[in-house]
């Protein structure tokens, strides 16, 4: 029985080791053009239960100031109750709220990047572990959907 | 106890089959897409990372160079160390990269090059430093195209980088100097008139970078320092006005003032006791994008003013808290500057 259990643990570890996602800088490339990717990103954010609160058009400001750039936006999003709770109870997190994803064109493709909010609170606010794990899971789902290119 | 056996064996069989894809030959493409494509492009044409599909690159580097590069990365030069991948996964990724240029990859012999590093120093200064930097620190910026046009197809690599020196054998460096890299600014220095001994001397000098003290690039963050917080002696309205003056005084432009929950709740329900001031200096932004086009995570610059329990507090993020994620020493320097700017603005407004 012990041998079977050991083998079970070994095989499980082989499987789950391939699934680990420890990266704190979330990045994705999609073959979608920038406008298509923008639409899909907003849909993906909504699908995970968040509201897009604002879109900062970084490229517009740069262009108006005379600099050349490709399309570049920052998409802010959050969930009202969560933002209220985090900002009230954990004010050190205020500068990181609402959450955001930077999105920009690279030729015909589009790249997305975000920091993993869970990384900010891990080992600092253990009581937030389950809350931030969910946010991490949601953001990973958003990035996965963007990689799927459809 | 034996009654458990059928159930356990079924579970073992199930786990075995679901774990099969991890080891499958063709998984290199999936692993590449998940871990590498975002920087190097789906087809290896490059982006923030170097163009791996470049034929001359493919022919000039060994599998060992690629494997070691994936393993150790380039500390401070964006390419991270992929410690999460096992050996089989690394090899699968290399096989996938090799699929873009069929043919047997080169295997450089492990023989050390014998040269004179003192003579090599002078030759390096004359022939290499213009692109690779006087101390071998490499060209500035990241990758190829990214969000803006680039002048060069690649950025000159940092030859003094620990990751590079670990990955590149003497013979590989020598072969690159002898033959150059077609499609990049790296020329053949044999054709430029250097002798083989000259090239050996340069290789010895490059290898001597290993004796230098490595630059601290990790910026391991202070876990408790998520943000800087200052108490203002003024009320909410006066604090915002003072911050606006200080921001403009630091050559930034105010781009937006809004409540923290704006866009998340109805306007009438917004919490007016948490106000964000967004600001930007577009020249600084342009410079930052050239250093690392992923700096959107820091954008726009902001301070947040919070009124609570009769106190007015000003919060700014600690840029260094995020910058270590990027493995970019140049960006770390910018973030240190940005930290000082935030502090300067808030102190000007609140002291």
Q: What is the pLDDT of residues B273-285, one digit of tens each?
A: 999 999 999 999 9
Question: Residue B39: pLDDT above 80?
Answer: yes
pLDDT category at A130 given cuts 50, 70, 90 is very high
Tokens encoding B28: 């290199």
Instruction: Give mean pLDDT, residues A90-106.
Output: 95
pLDDT at B10: 61
Using alpha carbons only, what angle is made at residue B282 by residues B280 and B287, rounded to the nearest 5 degrees?
120
pLDDT of residue B214: 62
> Are A70 and B148 in contact (CB < 8 Å)?
yes
Count of A-B CB contacts under 8 Å = 176
Per-residue pLDDT, B46: 83
Q: Residue A18 has what pLDDT?
A: 34
Range with the largest mean pLDDT of A56-65, B4-13, B22-31, B219-228: A56-65
Q: Which of A56, A61, A92 sits opposite B282 (nearest CB)?
A: A61
Q: Which of B265, B297, B300 sits opposite A115 (nearest CB)?
A: B297
Residue B146: which of A22, A31, A106 has the nearest Cβ?
A: A106
Q: How confident is the model at residue B11 (pLDDT cuts 50, 70, 90)?
A: low
Calpha distance B214→B217 (Å, rounded) = 9
pLDDT digits (tens, 9 = 90+) for A27-86: 999 999 999 999 999 999 999 999 999 999 999 988 998 888 889 999 999 999 999 999
pLDDT at B1 (0 to 100): 45
Question: What is the pLDDT averaged over residues A105-113?
Answer: 90
Out of B42-51, B71-80, B114-123, pick the least confident: B42-51
Q: What is the mean pLDDT of residues B296-306?
A: 94
Is residue A99 one of the residues assigned to a domain?
Answer: yes
- Of B156, B155, B147, nearest to B286 by C-alpha is B147
CA dist., res. B259 & res. B262, Å (int): 5
Q: Measure the CA–CA gap between A100 and A115, rounded to whole angstroms.
A: 8
Q: Answer yes or no: is A13 within a domain.
A: no
What pLDDT does B49 receive? 84
φ and ψ at B253, to 5 degrees?
A: -110, 130
Q: Helix or strand or coil: residue A68?
A: coil
* CATH number of the structural domain spanning residue A61: 3.30.310.70
- Say how many domains are in chain A: 1
Is A15 inside any structural domain?
A: no
Q: What architecture is domain B21-211?
A: Orthogonal Bundle (1.10)
Mean pLDDT for the stretch of residues B216-232: 72
Highest mean pLDDT out of A91-100, B19-28, B137-146: A91-100
| CB pair distance less than 8 Å for B282 and A80 | no
Q: Which residue has the higher pLDDT, B347 or B104?
A: B347
Instruction: Tell me, yes or no, whether A132 lies in a domain.
Output: yes
ipTM: 0.85
Interface test with B, best of A63, A73, A92 (most B CBs within 10 A): A92
- Any domain includes A140: yes
What is the model's pLDDT at position B289?
87
Query: What average pLDDT does this structure show over B33-50?
Result: 87
Is the per-residue pLDDT at B209 higher than 90?
yes
Listed residue (B19, B15, B41) closest to B86, CA to CA: B19
Q: Which among B276, B232, B277 is positioned nearest to B252, based on CA atoms?
A: B277
Does the residue A8 lie in any domain? no
Could you say which residues from 96 to 135 on chain B have a Cβ atom under 8 Å away from some Cβ of chain A? Answer: none
Ordered by start, the domain boundaries in chain B are 21-211, 227-350
Contacts of B229 in chain A (CB under 8 A): 91-92
Q: What is the mean pLDDT of residues B138-142?
A: 76
Direct distance between the N- and C-terminal alpha carbons of chain B, in angstroms, rounded to an integer: 74
Collect all residues of chain A within an 8 Å Cβ-Cβ radius of residue B306: 87, 91, 94
The secondary structure element, H or E, covering residue B37 is helix B37-40
- What confidence tier does A20 reach under pLDDT thresholds 50, 70, 90? very low
Q: Which domain holds residue A76?
A: 22-147
- Continuous H helices in A18-128: 34-47, 58-64, 80-89, 117-121
Homologous superfamily of B227-350: TT1751-like domain (3.30.310.70)
Residue B135 burial (CB count, 10 A): 13
Average pLDDT in chain B = 87
């Amino acid at each position: 029985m012990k041998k079977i259990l050991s083998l079970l643990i070994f095989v499980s570890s082989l499987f789950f080791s391939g699934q680990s996602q420890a990266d704190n800088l979330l990045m994705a490339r999609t073959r979608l053009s920038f406008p298509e990717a923008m639409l899909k990103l907003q849909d993906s954010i909504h699908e995970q239960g968040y509201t897009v609160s604002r879109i900062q058009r970084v490229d517009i400001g740069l262009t108006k100031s005379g600099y050349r750039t490709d399309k570049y936006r920052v998409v802010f999003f959050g969930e009202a109750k969560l933002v209220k709770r985090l900002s009230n109870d954990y004010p050190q997190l205020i500068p990181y709220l609402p959450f955001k994803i930077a999105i920009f064109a690279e030729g015909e493709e589009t790249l997305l990047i975000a920091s993993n909010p869970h990384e900010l609170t891990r080992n600092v606010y253990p009581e937030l572990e389950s809350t931030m794990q969910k946010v991490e899971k949601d953001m990973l789902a958003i990035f996965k959907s963007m990689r799927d290119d459809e | 106890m034996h009654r458990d056996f059928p159930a356990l064996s079924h579970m073992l069989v199930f786990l075995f089959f679901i774990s099969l894809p991890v080891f499958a030959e063709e998984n290199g493409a999936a692993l590449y897409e998940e871990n590498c494509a975002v920087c190097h492009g789906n087809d290896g044409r490059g982006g923030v990372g170097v163009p791996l599909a470049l034929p001359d690159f493919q022919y000039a580097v060994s599998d060992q160079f690629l494997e070691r590069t994936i393993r150790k990365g380039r500390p401070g030069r964006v390419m991270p160390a992929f410690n999460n991948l096992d050996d089989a996964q690394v090899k699968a990724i290399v096989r996938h990269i090799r699929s873009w240029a069929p043919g047997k990859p080169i295997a450089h012999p492990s023989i050390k090059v014998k040269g004179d590093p003192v003579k090599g120093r002078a030759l390096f200064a004359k022939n290499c430093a213009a692109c690779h930097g006087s101390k071998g620190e490499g060209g500035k910026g990241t990758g190829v195209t990214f969000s803006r046009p680039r002048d060069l197809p690649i950025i000159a690599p940092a030859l003094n980088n620990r990751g590079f020196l670990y990955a590149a054998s003497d013979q590989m460096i020598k072969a690159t100097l002898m033959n150059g890299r077609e499609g990049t600014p790296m020329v053949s220095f044999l054709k430029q008139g250097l002798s083989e001994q000259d090239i050996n001397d340069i290789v010895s000098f490059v290898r001597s970078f290993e004796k230098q003290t490595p630059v601290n690039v990790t910026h391991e963050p202070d876990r408790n320092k998520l943000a800087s917080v200052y108490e203002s002696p003024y009320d909410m309205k006066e604090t915002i006005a003072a911050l606006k003056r200080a921001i403009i005084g630091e050559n930034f432009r105010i781009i937006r003032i809004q409540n923290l929950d704006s866009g998340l709740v109805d306007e009438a329900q917004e919490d007016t006791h948490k106000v964000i001031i967004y600001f930007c200096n577009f020249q600084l932004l342009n410079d930052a994008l050239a250093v690392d086009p992923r700096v959107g995570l820091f954008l726009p610059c902001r301070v947040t003013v919070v009124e609570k329990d009769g106190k007015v507090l000003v919060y700014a993020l600690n840029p260094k808290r995020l910058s270590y994620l990027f493995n970019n020493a140049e960006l770390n320097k910018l973030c240190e500057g940005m930290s000082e700017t935030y502090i300067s603005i808030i102190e000007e407004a609140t002291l």
